[in-house]
Amino acid sequence: MKEKNTITRSRWIHLRLRPEEHEKLMQKYHSTTCRKVSEFVRNCLFEKPITILQRNASLDTGLQELTALREELRAIGQNLNQVTHKVNANPLLATDSNWQASFTVQRQSLDFKIEELLTSLNTLAQTWLL
């Protein structure tokens, strides 16, 4: 087991900043993986590597599309389940043309949304792989 570093930081440096300087410091701090501001400042001061988080805004629209498609697919799936449950509960309905038409419409809607989902996934995959 590793021994803990028993040397504690006992020296303080007090620093005064203008509000805009403090805001700039905090923005830079929040864009890193540092857990504390003091850790961030020490890393800057001693020129240690700082890991900066980056966000790819171009993927946001794709993720929004996928979320909307997921909700639509869930609704279509529920409709198909309801139709299937009613037909299975009453076998006479299976021969009823209204239920068959309802099932066909829901199935076509599902097929269309699946194609839309696959297109969105392919677009996102190509964006991520570039």
> What are the structural domains, with CATH classification, of the chain?
16-54 (no CATH), 58-129 (1.10.287)
Q: What is the pLDDT of residues 26-77, one digit of tens each?
A: 998 988 888 899 899 999 888 898 887 766 666 677 777 777 877 888 887 7
Q: How confident is the model at residue 5 (pLDDT cuts 50, 70, 90)?
A: low
State if pTM tops 0.85: no
- In this predicted structure, what is the pLDDT of residue 67? 78
Amino acid at 11: R
